[in-house]
């Protein structure tokens, strides 16, 4: 099997196996060699590395990863693609295919086998991008980095800073666990079939320690979610109206004064460190 780097080869594989693309799995197959190279380079894959690939599809990116890595474990949920992958990866003994849901896969066990040299790489389906990335981050997956191709809009939200239109709860959650870097824009014509939106390759360098200190991270994220639940409202109203927080308007106002912040400020203006301090100042229960 030759390298899957163009539309003709990809189309031939799809035709040979009579594959019907499944919208529920968000199947769009990469056909641009330059993008493949950018992904592998961004992930900084070396022969000492084990790569966990999520959603290999027909094996296009898998082949490129197997050329660079010592071992590639490709986790694919669609059982109909397993015979295809067994064929397209036949010449790559260091590539293993696992038919499983990545949200149920034991990543920690793989990381232990990798001896600290695990990297996650994927062309993620748009429909499940955030659940997969947040699972990897919140579980503190013992990997060095996560390099994924995702919808441009979502990537920009992950990397956004305070005050921008893209900044929100997702930005803060991702940046608590990792340092995001936008690597490359990928237009729709780099895929079969063409998606309706553009994509971006983003690299997340996982932090060994959180960038801020807070007494209760779960409480901080509850405050963050409430702050962005109604973006047009002031922070005082957003938090006071969030029943789960059990705080009054007066308590939020006092906390903002303690932080030297204006009472009419909105959540989008606060940095992660300010949210951490705010969460620590707010009482856990309404007094």
pLDDT at residue 3, as a whole number? 65
Q: Residue 86 region, left (φ>0) first, then alpha (ψ -120 to 50), else beta?
A: alpha
- Predicted pLDDT of residue 37: 93
Residue 247: predicted pLDDT = 94
Tell me: the pLDDT tens digits for 192-243? 778 888 999 999 999 999 999 999 999 999 999 999 998 789 999 999 999 8
User: Who contacts 197 (Cβ-Cβ below 8 Å, separation ≥6)?
Assistant: 126, 151, 152, 153, 188
Q: From the first residue on, what is the mean pLDDT of each consecutive set of 10 residues in the chain (287 residues)?
A: 60 65 64 91 97 93 96 94 93 97 94 95 90 94 95 97 96 98 94 87 96 95 94 92 92 97 96 98 73
d(CA 138, CA 210): 12
Distances (CA, A) of 225 to 28, 37, 160, 197: 32, 37, 16, 27
Domains of the chain, by residue range, sit at 7-206, 217-281
Calpha distance 224→172 (Å, rounded): 8
Residue 29 pLDDT: 78
Which one is the CATH code of 217-281: 3.30.43.10, 1.10.8.100, 3.40.47.10, 2.60.120.460? 1.10.8.100
CATH 3.30.460.10 corresponds to the domain 7-206: no
């Amino acid at each position: 099997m030759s390298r899957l780097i163009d539309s003709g080869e990809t189309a031939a594989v799809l035709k040979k196996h009579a594959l019907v693309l499944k919208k529920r799995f968000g199947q769009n197959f990469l056909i641009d060699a330059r993008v493949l190279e950018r992904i592998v380079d961004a992930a900084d894959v070396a022969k000492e590395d084990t790569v966990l690939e999520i959603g290999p599809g027909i094996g296009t990116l898998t082949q490129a990863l197997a050329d660079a890595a010592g071992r590639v474990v490709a986790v694919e949920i669609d059982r109909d693609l397993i015979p295809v992958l067994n064929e397209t990866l036949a010449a790559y003994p260091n590539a293993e295919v696992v038919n499983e849901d990545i949200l149920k896969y034991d990543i920690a066990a793989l990381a232990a086998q990798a001896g600290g040299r695990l990297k996650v790489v994927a062309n993620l389906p748009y429909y499940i991008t955030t659940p997969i990335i947040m699972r990897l981050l919140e579980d503190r997956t013992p990997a060095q980095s996560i390099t994924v191709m995702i919808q441009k809009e979502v990537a920009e939200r992950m990397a956004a800073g305070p005050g921008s239109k893209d900044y929100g709860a997702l930005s803060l959650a991702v940046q608590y666990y990792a340092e995001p870097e936008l690597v490359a824009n990928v237009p729709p014509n780099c895929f079969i079939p063409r998606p309706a939106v553009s994509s971006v390759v983003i690299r997340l360098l996982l932090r060994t320690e959180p960038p801020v200190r807070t007494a209760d991270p779960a409480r901080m994220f509850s405050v963050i979610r409430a702050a962005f639940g109604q973006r047009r409202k002031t922070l005082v109203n957003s938090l006071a109206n969030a029943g789960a927080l059990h705080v009054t308007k007066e308590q939020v106002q006092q906390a903002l004064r303690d932080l030297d912040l204006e009472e009419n400020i909105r959540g989008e203006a606060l940095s992660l460190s300010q949210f951490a301090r705010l969460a620590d100042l707010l009482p856990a229960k309404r007094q």
